[in-house]
Structure 1
Amino acid sequence: MAVQREFGLAFPKAEYDRRLAAVRRGMAERGAEVLLLFSPQNLHYLTGYNTVGYLNYQCLLVPLEGDPVMVVRLLERPVAEATTWLATVFAYEDHEDPAGAVRRAVHEAGWASRRLACEQTSGFLSVRQYRHLEQVLGAEIQDGSGIVEGARLIKSPLELECHREAARCTAAGLEAIINAVAEGRTENDLAAEGYRAMVKAGGEFFSSQPIVTSGEKSGIPHTTFHRRALRRGDAILIEIGAVWNRYAAPQMRTAAVGEASREMRRAYDACREALEATLAAIRPGVRSLDVQAACQAVIDRHGYEPNFRKRVGYSVGVGFAPSWGEGQIMDLKHHDERELRPGMVFHVVPALREHRTFAVGVSETVTVTEKGCEILTSFPRDLFVRG
């Protein structure tokens, strides 16, 4: 059973020590003496920092030796002190320059002459902010992108347990949504049932919003609930992922209102077969592109190649909105020769869309084991006809 926290650290301090040691090995390999981090995922991974105010300017400074320090908005300092193991948290007020607070942290820690590196791929540090930070620090900052992500790619047993707990909450959400399907009800009705069930089961604030999309709208990627009333014959594409200690377990399922057309069933059977082939291909040493090929072969054999021109899966782990995904760390896709390793976690997502007609899909969140893969999520893979 994963740690259930009322407040404070999600994991024992030893888990954070392990992560920090892995990041420091990556820093040493890149010649970085102090690493500046801005992504909420990376801050949370190394310290436990957990706030809904993560859009504010925040920076974790990690030295090769000594304790990391954090810079946050003054309003967020109590959160940093309550949810992390850090001894030193610098704060800036709303009328102050946040980069100036980073400079103060660097100088007070005695790191002004150290080789600084910064994650340059963070979506939470704009180009303007990065250039201003360089100017304020008066130092050349090397690229430290990917150092923390390299450690995040392999999940520990404690992290996997969080994925399992999230999967339990996701299953509760799927069951609630599917049981709510009926002609005349709205997408919002279904989404509301899913939200309620996942949160009641113990899930936290979401890292990706649930997708509940129906009818011809379901054939348009990344649409979701928008007050549409369900009609007989509609396909309903459902993709949800509950969160436990910031770890998500996404799952996709398909339902139909009253009846499922022959073409809908044919496409769904292709997706389910493709999922099974993909899961059978996942094991240590297999390349990302080989996993994609296993899925693609089934899709192509069923004649859906024009409808499936995307990755088959992506890494998942620590997540904050806008996404539960770690695709920036690793995808399962064409031309990617990286090999799978035990402890990696992926959301495997075969889905087919007939534009402005319908969509079907079925997915699982899995982890790579020593001999194959373990399916972390659990819910029947039927095409559910309800209402």
Structure 2
Amino acid sequence: MTQLTRLRDEMRQRGLDALWVSRPANVRYLTGFTSPADGKVLVTQERATLYTDARYTVQAAEESALPQFIARPPATYEHAAADVGRGVVGFEADHLTVAGLEELEAAWPDATLKAAPGLVEELRSCKDDREIEAIRAAQALADRVYAEVRPMIRAGLREADIALEIEQRLRRAGATNAFDVIVASGPRGAMPHGTASDRVMQDGELVTIDMGACLNGYNSDMTRTVAIGTPTDEMRRVYGAVLEAEEAAVQAVKPGARAADLDALARGILERHGLAEAFAHSLGHGVGLMVHEAPGLRGTSEDVLKPGMLVTIEPGAYLPGVGGVRIEDLVLVTEDGYEVLSQAVKETV
């Protein structure tokens, strides 16, 4: 079943005659167009059209099998009006701006516009074989780059030096950073999103490295925490607790598992180690065309794991003024369990 066929089935279930797609990742997913920030898609039960402007005439024709209409608004909306008519048109309410919605209302006065958030995202949450292989390749590259850079993580170097090495090596391999590299050493390890700074790493500290590769549009994501020299007994205890929680949650990944239950499993282990309050974020998230996408592995999530989902498992513990630990794997949900795609070594500290 093609992506558009699946999408049209979902549209019928929601009572939509058409869907106006504006979120860049969703545009790329449906079209293959690699400049999706400058594209939109109108999907009806009969046809789908990629809208972009004249800067991309050649590129869109080369990359997308969908028919294209090359113009800018208002000509874009005028062309789409013939397919929209008096129908019910869904729009991505979690992406389209108020001004953008007002433009659609003015351009299609006979249509009924209906918020339809998450429609394409739900389809994207389960990857096909091509997407899985793309993410597998991105993660394999990230693993390789991490292994090359790991010996450089030592006292006397700046966090920024490590981040620069990671970025340069990814770029030489034809990829980019999936996100700003996190290198958080010593007390900065208490910052879950402590992107690399000019701080000089010191002996006896833990250093958290959170990195990913974006290769051919698809992302990877993993985290390792390593020691420079010998850390304190307390931080070694925290590391052991986080590792226990991470490995237990990974082993619980399977089709039918509730995302909220996985979060509770990891959180319960950290609670038993006296670190409940130190776990300041959710257990994980989906990965694909975006680094953070469905499903969400958090306590309030209603998501249930399905084969083809790619998720992170990343418990952490953060002690302000002291330091922190996070360990993260990228995990594929298989037909009967899981496969860990991230193969970088988890060290004993």
TM-score bucket of the superposed structures, by smaller chain: over 0.9
Q: Does 1:113 align with 2:97?
A: no
Q: Does 1:101 align with 2:84?
A: no
Match of 1:69 in 2: 49
1:197 to 150, 169, 177: 169
Q: Secondary structure at the match of 2:330?
A: strand
Match of 1:213 in 2: 184
Q: Match for 2:50: what amino acid?
A: M
Q: Report deviation, 1:306.
A: 0.9
TM-score of the superposition, structure 1-length normalised? 0.85
Q: 1:230 to 1:142 in 2, by over 3 A?
A: same
Distance, in Å, in 2 between the alignment partners of 1:293 and 1:368 is 19
Distance, in Å, in 2 between the alignment partners of 1:20 and 1:90 is 21
Q: Secondary structure at the match of 1:317?
A: coil
1:28 to 4, 8, 12: 12
Q: Match for 2:87: what amino acid?
A: R
Q: Report deviation, 1:337.
A: 3.8
Q: Does 1:241 align with 2:212?
A: yes
Match of 1:82 in 2: 62
Tell which deviates more after alignment, 240-249 or 345-354. Answer: 240-249
Distance, in Å, in 2 between the alignment partners of 1:246 and 1:347 is 18
Q: Report deviation, 1:87.
A: 2.4
Match of 1:180 in 2: 152
Matches within 5 A, 1:1-387: 18-51=2-35, 54=37, 56=38, 58-66=39-47, 68-92=48-72, 98=73, 100-107=74-81, 109-122=82-95, 125-138=96-109, 139-203=111-175, 205-319=176-290, 324-326=291-293, 329-383=294-348
Number of positions where the alignment pairs a residue of Structure 1 with one of Structure 2: 348
Q: Deviations over 1:151-200 (max 9, x none)?
A: 11111111111111011111022223322112221112101111122233
Distance, in Å, in 1 between the alignment partners of 2:83 and 2:194 is 50
RMSD between aligned alpha carbons?
1.9
Residues 44 and 83 in structure 2, CA contact (< 8 A), matched pair in contact too: no
Distance, in Å, in 2 between the alignment partners of 1:184 and 1:22 is 54
Tell which deviates more after alignment, 166-175 or 36-45. Answer: 166-175
Residues 177 and 191 in structure 1, CA contact (< 8 A), matched pair in contact too: no
Residues 21 and 27 in structure 2, CA contact (< 8 A), matched pair in contact too: yes
Q: Report deviation, 1:133.
A: 2.4
Q: 1:200 to 1:383 in 2, by over 3 A?
A: farther
Q: Deviations over 1:98-152 (max 9, x none)?
A: 3x13312213x54323321111112xx3222222322232233111212111211
Q: Match for 2:292: what amino acid?
A: G
Residues 349 and 361 in structure 1, CA contact (< 8 A), matched pair in contact too: yes
Q: 1:332 to 1:200 in 2, by over 3 A?
A: same
Q: Report deviation, 1:383.
A: 4.5
Q: 1:106 to 1:299 in 2, by over 3 A?
A: same
Distance, in Å, in 1 between the alignment partners of 2:52 and 2:177 is 22
Residues 155 and 203 in structure 2, CA contact (< 8 A), matched pair in contact too: yes
Residues 169 and 202 in structure 1, CA contact (< 8 A), matched pair in contact too: no
Q: Match for 1:196: what amino acid?
A: Q
Q: Report deviation, 1:315.
A: 1.1
Q: Deviations over 1:324-345 (max 9, x none)?
A: 110xx32112133432211111
Task: Calculate percent identity across the aligned residue pairs.
Answer: 29
Distance, in Å, in 2 between the alignment partners of 1:110 and 1:201 is 43
Distance, in Å, in 2 between the alignment partners of 1:206 and 1:38 is 24
Q: Match for 1:345: what amino acid?
A: L
Q: List runs of 5+ in structure 1 lacking aligned partners.
A: 1-16, 93-97
Q: Secondary structure at the match of 1:330?
A: strand
Residues 86 and 112 in structure 2, CA contact (< 8 A), matched pair in contact too: no
Distance, in Å, in 2 between the alignment partners of 1:27 and 1:118 is 11
Q: Which runs of 4+ in 1 moved over 4 A?
A: none
Distance, in Å, in 2 between the alignment partners of 1:84 and 1:261 is 55
Q: List runs of 5+ in structure 2 lacking aligned partners.
A: none
Distance, in Å, in 2 between the alignment partners of 1:242 and 1:180 is 19
Q: Deviations over 1:204-260 (max 9, x none)?
A: x33422211222222123121122222222321111111222221211001232332
Q: Match for 2:75: what amino acid?
A: A
TM-score of the superposition, structure 2-length normalised? 0.93
